[in-house]
């Protein structure tokens, strides 16, 4: 059974803290994605990675960075968390080729106080 | 960038009835892929159905089918014989034939009334 896992389902942090969200996939997928999901706004792409150590900015990269040191792991970093980063964060992965669907993790609901 | 529009933020359907969720998209590409995803409350997002743009035949998966109108850039999802387990947020998504990015609509929240 294919899987994308995320390190936490719920996370509460304080303003200014450095936050790490981790995502692991076991499907040997080349492509991995971080989205932010907010009511009425759908899924907005923060960053994606198409290979180890490769990354590309999505639509809303400001305030975020990412790391992909190993193929199966893609981390999202909030350098200095702010209250407007309170959201649901979804990780996804997909294989090469446009036919392939994205597989999603369960999400991390982050609250920044 | 491509845009995907879901104009129905919320929909409801009686159990056992049929409901259609709308999706339109904007693209200049001729070859691409379209997807419908389902996100049940507090559960993982999963694929419902996909459609290749070069295929004229509409995709079907059991009670789920699509009405793909390429010229109109429309991709609606029909759910037949609705069940309580169909209650979820549904997202329409687009992926071009080149590149790795997916583009999602804002979602439609479906309520199934017993």
DSSP B7-35: --SEEEEETTS-EEE--EEE-S-SSEEEE
Residue A2 is predicted with a pLDDT of 67
Structure confidence at residue B101 (pLDDT):
86
Whether residue A1 is predicted with pLDDT greater than 70 in this model: the reply is no
- CA-CA distance, A16 to A79, in Å (whole number)? 8
For A98, the token pair is 């446009």
B67: closest CA among B57, B80, B54? B57
CA–CA distance, A56 with B5 (Å, rounded to integer) = 24
Residues whose CB is less than 8 angstroms from the CB of residue B57 and which lie 6 or more positions away in sequence, other chains included = none
CB contact under 8 A, B47 and A48: no
Token reading at A83: 């209250």
> Quick one: pLDDT at residue B97?
80
Confidence band, pLDDT 50/70/90 cuts, at residue A99: confident
Chain A residue numbers with beta carbons less than 8 Å from the beta carbon of B1 are 59
B91/A43 touch (CB, cutoff 8 Å), yes or no: yes
- Give pLDDT < 70 ranges for chain B: 1
Structure tokens at A27: 């499907």
Mean pLDDT of chain A: 94
CB B82 within 8 A of CB B13: yes
Residue of B nearest to A37 (CA): B106
Give the gap in angstroms from C-alpha B23 to the nearest C-alpha of chain A. 13
């Amino acid at each position: 059974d294919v899987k994308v896992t995320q390190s936490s389902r719920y996370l509460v942090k304080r303003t200014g803290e450095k936050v790490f969200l981790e995502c692991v996939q076991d499907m040997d997928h080349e492509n991995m994605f971080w989205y932010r999901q907010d009511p009425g706004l759908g899924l907005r792409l923060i960053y994606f990675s198409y290979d180890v150590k490769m990354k590309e900015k999505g639509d809303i990269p400001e305030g975020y960075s990412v790391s992909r040191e190993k193929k199966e792991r893609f981390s999202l970093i909030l350098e200095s968390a702010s209250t407007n980063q309170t959201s649901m964060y979804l990780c996804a992965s997909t294989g090469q080729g446009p036919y392939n669907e994205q597989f999603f993790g369960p999400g991390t609901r982050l609250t920044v106080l | 960038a491509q845009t995907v529009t879901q104009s129905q933020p919320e929909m409801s359907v009686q159990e056992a009835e049929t409901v259609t969720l709308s999706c339109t998209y904007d693209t200049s590409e001729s070859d691409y892929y379209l997807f419908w995803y389902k996100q049940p409350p507090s559960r993982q997002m999963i694929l419902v159905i996909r459609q290749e743009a070069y295929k004229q035949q509409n995709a079907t998966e059991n009670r789920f089918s699509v009405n793909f109108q390429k010229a109109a850039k429309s991709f609606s999802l029909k759910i037949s014989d609705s069940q309580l387990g169909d209650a979820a947020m549904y997202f329409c998504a687009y992926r071009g034939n080149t590149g790795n990015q997916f583009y999602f609509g804002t979602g439609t929240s479906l309520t199934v009334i017993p």
